[in-house]
Amino acid sequence: MDQLLKTLGIVLNATLMYTPPLLFAALGSCCSEKSGVINIGIEGMMTIGAFTGAAVGYFSGDPWLAFLCAGLAGMVFALIHGFACITCKADQTISGTAINFLASGIAVYVCRLLFAGNTETHPVPNKLPRIFNGLFEWCNANLGGKWGEAFAKNGFLDNVFNTYASAYIAFILVLVIWFIFYKTRFGLRLRAVGEHPQAADTLGVNVSLVRYICVALSGFLAGLGGASITLATVSVYRPSIVIGQGFIAIAAVIFGKFKPQGAMLGCILFGFCNGLKVVVGSSGSIPVNIISMIPYVVTIIALILFVGKAHVPAANGKPYIKSK
């Protein structure tokens, strides 16, 4: 029993390691897509966030400042995307693809300039804090140790809840975004703009402004997602660090039918499968490459069996052109 609990603890620990970056990015993607702007550029915004986080973290030593700067860097690229898609009515897929190229190019380029030609930054001195570090050990020591293994260092609770602050922020943000979407006036406008911009416009909603805010927010969140890799999971930026996670986040959003809570389930599914990979992979009985396929195969199977057709916001991908 204890052994099982411990294994589960390790799986969940890994889950909570893999999930937050995806979750930040997925929430970002959700904001943008809900307002009717496809954001393929999430991947690039994550990349620039990951790099900015690592670079600012290294030079300033302050992980929170780095985290914030990463979000802002993502936002800058999101605003370029917004300018192209909203003001210039550009094709959103094309613009997003361009952002991906541009962001990964600029990240590595600046990295080479700042770190003497290397494509990898130096490790950040301070990672984001683990909020409950030592809490469970303290409980164990001060409550007579009769609560069993679960409270020990690297026991179940320590493994599960003693994760980096970014994980907690990500899950709290799910609630916040859900609240904004479904319980506030701005959320109602946002959804209206994504479903039927003409109707929203007639009622006096500033379609462009709402979309700009949403796209900027999506870049900010994607930037945080990137930084939660370089400031928590690992402590350096290298070009291969984000690869594909932005697209996985987009996949999670489609999987979750463009709802923040659904996207969260998608991200957790991914994170959990990655966690399983760590445990099953260490046993060595199944080739690691086969195990690595699990998250992707499971997603497709889940999509076919349970999710069905996604409801895409009706105006998603269509620039809004005001009629005269």
Partner 1 sequence: MKNSINTKRFIEKLQESAFTYTLISIIIGFIVGAIALLIAGYNPIESYGKLFGVIFRSTKNISYSFIEYSVPYILTGLSVAFAFKTGVFNIGAEGQYVMGSVAAMLVGAFVKAPAYIHIPLCIIAALAAGALWGGLVGFLKIRFGAHEVLCMIMFNWIAYYFSNFIVNLDGVNVGGGKTWSVPIADTAKITISDWLPGLSPKAHFGVFIALICVVVIYYIINRTTLGFKLKAVGFNRSAAEYAGINANGSVLTALSISGMLASLAGALQVMGVTYKVSQFAGQEGYGFQGITVALIGGTNPFGVLLGAEFFGAMKFGGTRFDAPSEIVDIIMGCIVLCIAISSLLRMMISSNKKNKGGV
Q: Which is nearer to partner 1, 180 or 303 (CB)?
A: 303
The answer to the question of residue 106 lying near partner 1 (CB under 8 A) is: yes
Residue 50, both tokens: 């990951």
**Which string of DSSP letters, residue by residue, matches 65-105?**
HHHHHHHHHHHHHHHHHHIIIIIS---HHHHHHHHHHHHHH
89 binds partner 1 (CB under 8 A): yes
Identify the residue among 16, 42, 75, 103 touching partner 1 (CB under 8 A).
103
144: CB partners within 8 A, 6+ apart: none
* Residues 156-185 close enough to bind partner 1 by CB under 8 A: none
Instruction: Please answer whether residues 79 and 88 qualify as being in contact, where contact means their C-beta atoms are separated by less than 8 angstroms.
Output: no
User: For residue 224, what are the contacts with CB-CB under 8 A and spacing of at least 6?
Assistant: 24, 49, 67, 70, 71, 74, 166, 169
Q: Which is nearer to partner 1, 143 or 243 (CB)?
A: 243
- Pick the stretch among 57-65, 87-95, 152-160, 162-170 that binds partner 1 (CB under 8 A): 87-95
Give 232's DSSP letter: I
Residue 191 CA to residue 33 CA, distance in Å, equals 10
Collapsing DSSP states into helix, strand and coil, what is residue 295?
Answer: helix
Position 108 contacts partner 1 (CB under 8 A):
yes
Our measurement of the distance from residue 269's CA atom to the centroid of its chain's CA atoms, rounded to an integer in Å, reads 14
CB 224 within 8 A of CB 72: no
Contacts of 14 (CB under 8 A, 6+ apart): 271, 274, 275, 277, 278, 279
Closer CB to partner 1, residue 42 or residue 124? 42
Of the two residues 19 and 140, which places its CB atom closer to partner 1 in the complex? 19
| Contact between 80 and partner 1 per CB under 8 A | yes
**d(Cα 223, Cα 215) in Å, to the nearest integer?**
12
The residue (of 13 and 299) whose beta carbon lies closer to partner 1 is 299
Site string for partner 1, 283-312 (x = CB under 8 A): ----x-xx-xx--xx-xx--xx---xxx--
DSSP for residue 242: S
88 binds partner 1 (CB under 8 A): yes
Q: At its nearest, how many Å lie between partner 1 and the CB of residue 89?
A: 6
Per CB under 8 A, 100 contacts partner 1: yes
Window of 92-100, 129-137, 147-155, 222-230 that interacts with partner 1 by CB under 8 A: 92-100
Q: Which stretch binds partner 1 (CB under 8 A): 89-97, 149-157, 168-176, 224-232?
A: 89-97
> Considering only CA atoms, which of 41, 58, 68, 45 is closest in space to residue 118?
58
Is residue 52 part of the contact set for partner 1 (CB under 8 A)? Answer: no
Q: How far is the CB of 178 from partner 1 (least distance, A)?
A: 22
Q: How far is the CB of 140 from partner 1 (least distance, A)?
A: 40
- x-or-dash string of contact with partner 1, 230-249, rule CB under 8 A: ---------xx--xx--xx-
- Name which of 47 and 162 has its Cβ closer to partner 1: 47
Q: Which is nearer to partner 1, 140 or 299 (CB)?
A: 299
Which CB sits closer to partner 1, 188 or 302? 302
Answer yes or no whether residue 112 interacts with partner 1 by CB under 8 A.
yes
The DSSP result for 108-137, as a single string, is HHHHHHHTTT-SSPPPPSSPPPBTTTTHHH
